[in-house]
């Protein structure tokens, strides 16, 4: 069975591959929301639920049905039953290519993410459904929506051109017992450090979650530069007055030949006329495949070593090369390259080499990297996460709070044995995790963040 999340106006927010929440039952279709009887009194159920409009009912639950004991909001003393809604009149438009005919049920947002205002936290404002990250007004959930916008059509054409130029696949007849992997489009707007949209990016992704380890892939690990290594690289550049440059590899995962035999369906919107029954055999990796990161990492490692770079023994995502005009250092984070060195001539020569090997974007001097704003001046390099910190405050309901010079109350004593009321553990962990990332540029917060990190197992109001 499948479950759709419904907002106040019975608005569908996605299914399976379309960016929403989909709860799948087991092989027999059983789950916590199955078993709703037919012919229930819809009028009385709708009256008892203030979020439901006319004709939108919450059927009563059969005996013994509901969420398992101990799950749900930590503050709840009684486990609420799983409520369901009468489906909207037109449900066909809500179903994507993954729908296999299983029963479809609809649920309320609050039944999925918890009460509107978890105890001990600021009030949650949900003016728009995309604030729950179910979708975005700027990022279409499906190809049918994206093809209506010129920006997304251009982005998809760029992605398909890159795939075809790369010789990523070939169209073949499906072999016996072939189980092709389906494809989907994923849309993302790229923003700068000020939050302005600078690029519309469309990515064709394989649904690699159906792949089987040992059959369809073996190795999946790919190393990336640790944040400590990136900070060390920037510190080295600052002390030696080096400029730090930034490059991005376009469609990085498409550059590595596949060793395994992998078949995928033709991409949505680009099915060859009269050959819809044929499948695509992948010659090179595609985003979404389990082995794609590993394949790209091996390809880049081979290319850099051919350029006479040496990989750091203690940090496999850092490469160095000693040349006639000085040392060149390259940090790798998936498809982002951070480049610094003593000679501008060596840096420009390296950029030219990379552009001949891959389709690259030269982003110039480094200004924004992994949520960190970088300002390069003559007297040094400054790192800042002001935009990230503002978003974290807004997400925590503290967007209008007043600043304080001390990150925590002096001589504060907290205990795991606190008797204060429980708070939503998921929200608490999310906020603390965000603060831990903020510590990379705000070491003055380290002690306070480390202190509250001790209570993530069972957070209380005083934590």
pLDDT band per the 50, 70, 90 thresholds, residue 305: very high
pLDDT band per the 50, 70, 90 thresholds, residue 111: low
Q: What average pLDDT score do residues 291-299 get?
A: 86
Question: Which residues, in sequence order, are CB contacts of 174 under 8 Å at separation 6+?
Answer: 180, 263, 277, 278, 279
- Statement to judge: residues 338 and 425 lie in one domain: no
What pLDDT is recorded for position 43? 36
**Is residue 18 over pLDDT 50?**
no
**Is residue 407 over pLDDT 80?**
yes
Residue 59 lies in a domain: yes
pLDDT band per the 50, 70, 90 thresholds, residue 334: confident
- Statement to judge: residues 320 and 356 lie in one domain: yes
Cα–Cα dist 149/131, whole Å: 22
Q: What average pLDDT score do residues 412-438 get?
A: 87
- Statement to judge: residues 152 and 225 lie in one domain: yes
Q: What average pLDDT score do residues 374-397 get?
A: 89
61 compared with 400, residue with greater pLDDT: 400
210 compared with 317, residue with greater pLDDT: 317
- Statement to judge: residues 414 and 323 lie in one domain: no
What pLDDT is recorded for position 436? 92
Closest alpha carbon to 243 in 369, 380, 337 = 380
Residue 224 lies in a domain: yes
What pLDDT is recorded for position 340? 93
Q: What average pLDDT score do residues 64-89 get?
A: 51
- Statement to judge: residues 53 and 6 lie in one domain: yes
- Statement to judge: residues 341 and 282 lie in one domain: yes
pLDDT in tens, 437-449: 999 898 899 999 9
Q: Which of 377, 397, 414 is the last residue of a domain?
A: 377
**Is residue 327 over pLDDT 80?**
yes
Cα–Cα dist 87/10, whole Å: 8
The pTM for the full model equals 0.60
- Statement to judge: residues 350 and 369 lie in one domain: yes
The most distant pair of C-alpha atoms in the chain lies apart, rounded to whole Å, by 83
pLDDT band per the 50, 70, 90 thresholds, residue 190: confident
pLDDT band per the 50, 70, 90 thresholds, residue 338: very high
310 compared with 70, residue with greater pLDDT: 310
What pLDDT is recorded for position 242? 92
pLDDT band per the 50, 70, 90 thresholds, residue 82: low
Residue 260 lies in a domain: yes
Q: What average pLDDT score do residues 25-40 get?
A: 35
What pLDDT is recorded for position 104? 72
Closest alpha carbon to 285 in 264, 309, 268 = 264
**Is residue 130 over pLDDT 80?**
no
Q: What average pLDDT score do residues 73-82 get?
A: 47
- Statement to judge: residues 23 and 110 lie in one domain: yes
Residue 313 lies in a domain: yes
Residue 137 lies in a domain: no
Both tokens assigned to 381: 């390099």
pLDDT in tens, 427-438: 889 999 999 999
Q: Which of 347, 377, 407 is the last residue of a domain?
A: 377
Using the structure block, give the residue that is written with the tokens 């010789």: 167
Residue 306 lies in a domain: yes
What pLDDT is recorded for position 217? 78
pLDDT band per the 50, 70, 90 thresholds, residue 61: very low
Q: Which of 377, 411, 440 is the last residue of a domain?
A: 377
**Is residue 116 over pLDDT 60?**
no
- Statement to judge: residues 91 and 147 lie in one domain: no
What pLDDT is recorded for position 110? 63
**Is residue 34 over pLDDT 80?**
no
- Statement to judge: residues 262 and 320 lie in one domain: yes
User: Which of left, alpha, beta for 153 (phi over 0: left; psi -120 to 50: alpha)?
Assistant: alpha
Residue 461 lies in a domain: no
What pLDDT is recorded for position 458? 86
Cα–Cα dist 295/211, whole Å: 16
What pLDDT is recorded for position 365? 93
Task: Provide the residue range defining the domain that includes 317.
Answer: 143-377
Cα–Cα dist 391/395, whole Å: 6
Q: What is the 3-state secondary structure (H, E, C) of the chain?
A: CEEEEECCCCCECCCHHHCCCCCCCCCCCCCCCCCCCCCCCHHHHHHHCCCCCCCCCCCCCCCCCCCCCCCCCCCCCCCCCCCCECCCCCCHHHCCCCCCCCCEEEEEHHHHHCCCCCCCCCCCCCCCHHHHCCCCCCCCCCHHHHCCCHHHHHHHHHHHHHHHHCCCEEEECCCCCCCCECEEEEEEEEECCCCCEEEEEEEEEECHHHCCECCCECCCCCCCCCHHHHHHHHHHHHHCCCCEEEEEECCHHHHCECCCCCEECCCCCCCCCCCCCCEEEECECCCCCCCHHHHHHHHHHHHHHHCCCEECCCCCCEEEEEECCEEEEEEEECCEEEEEECCHHHHHHHHHHHHHHCCEEEEEECCEECCEEEEEECCEEEEECHHHHHHHHHHCCCCCCCCCCCCCCCCCCCCCCCCCCECCHHHHHHHHHHHHHHCCCCHHHHHHHHHHHHHCCCCECCC
- Statement to judge: residues 318 and 170 lie in one domain: yes
- Statement to judge: residues 338 and 417 lie in one domain: no
What pLDDT is recorded for position 121? 54
Strand 279-282 with 169-172, pairing: antiparallel
Percentage with pLDDT > 70 across the chain: 71
Number of domains within the chain = 3
Residue 134 lies in a domain: no
Q: What average pLDDT score do residues 5-16 get?
A: 38
């Amino acid at each position: 069975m499948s479950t759709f999340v419904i907002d106040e106006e019975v608005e569908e927010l996605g299914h399976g591959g379309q960016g929403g929440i989909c709860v799948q039952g087991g092989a027999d279709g059983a789950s916590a929301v199955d078993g709703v009887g037919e012919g229930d009194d819809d009028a009385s159920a709708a009256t008892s639920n203030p979020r439901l409009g006319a004709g939108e009912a919450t059927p009563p639950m059969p005996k013994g049905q509901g969420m398992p004991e101990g799950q749900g909001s930590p503050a709840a003393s009684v486990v609420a039953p799983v409520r369901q809604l009468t489906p909207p009149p037109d449900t066909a438009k809500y179903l994507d290519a993954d729908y296999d005919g299983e029963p479809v049920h609809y649920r309320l947002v609050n039944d999925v993410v918890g009460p509107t205002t978890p105890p001990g936290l600021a009030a949650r404002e949900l003016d728009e459904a995309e604030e729950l990250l179910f979708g975005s007004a700027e990022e279409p959930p499906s190809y049918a929506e994206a093809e209506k916008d010129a920006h997304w059509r251009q982005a998809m054409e760029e992605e398909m051109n890159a795939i075809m130029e790369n010789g990523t696949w070939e169209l073949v007849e499906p072999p016996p017992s072939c189980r092709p992997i389906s494809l989907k489009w994923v849309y993302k707007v790229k923003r700068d450090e000020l939050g302005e949209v600078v690029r519309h990016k469309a990515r064709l992704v394989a649904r690699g979650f159906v792949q089987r380890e040992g059959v369809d892939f073996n190795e999946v690990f790919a190393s990336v530069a640790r944040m400590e290594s990136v900070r060390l690289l920037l510190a080295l550049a600052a002390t030696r007055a080096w400029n730090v440059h930034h490059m991005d590899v376009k469609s990085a995962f498409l550059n590595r030949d596949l060793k395994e035999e992998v078949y995928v369906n033709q991409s949505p919107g680009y099915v060859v006329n009269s050959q819809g029954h044929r499948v695509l055999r992948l010659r090179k990796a595609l985003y979404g495949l389990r082995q794609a990161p590993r394949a790209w990492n091996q390809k880049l490692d081979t290319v850099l070593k051919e350029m006479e770079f040496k990989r750091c023994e203690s940090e496999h995502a850092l490469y160095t090369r000693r040349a006639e005009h000085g040392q060149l250092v390259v940090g790798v984070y998936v498809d982002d390259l951070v480049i610094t060195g003593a000679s501008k001539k060596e840096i420009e020569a390296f950029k030219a080499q990379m552009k001949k090997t891959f389709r690259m974007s030269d982003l110039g001097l480094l200004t924004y990297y992994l949520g960190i704003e970088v300002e390069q001046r003559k007297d040094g390099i400054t790192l800042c996460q002001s935009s990230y910190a503002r978003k974290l405050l807004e997400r925590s309901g503290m967007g209008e709070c007043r600043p304080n010079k001390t990150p925590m109350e002096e001589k504060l004593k907290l205990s795991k044995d606190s008797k204060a009321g429980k708070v939503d553990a998921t929200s608490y962990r999310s906020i603390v995790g965000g603060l831990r990332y903020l510590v990379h540029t705000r070491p003055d917060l380290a002690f306070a963040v480390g202190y509250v990190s001790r209570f993530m197992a069972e957070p209380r109001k005083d934590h």
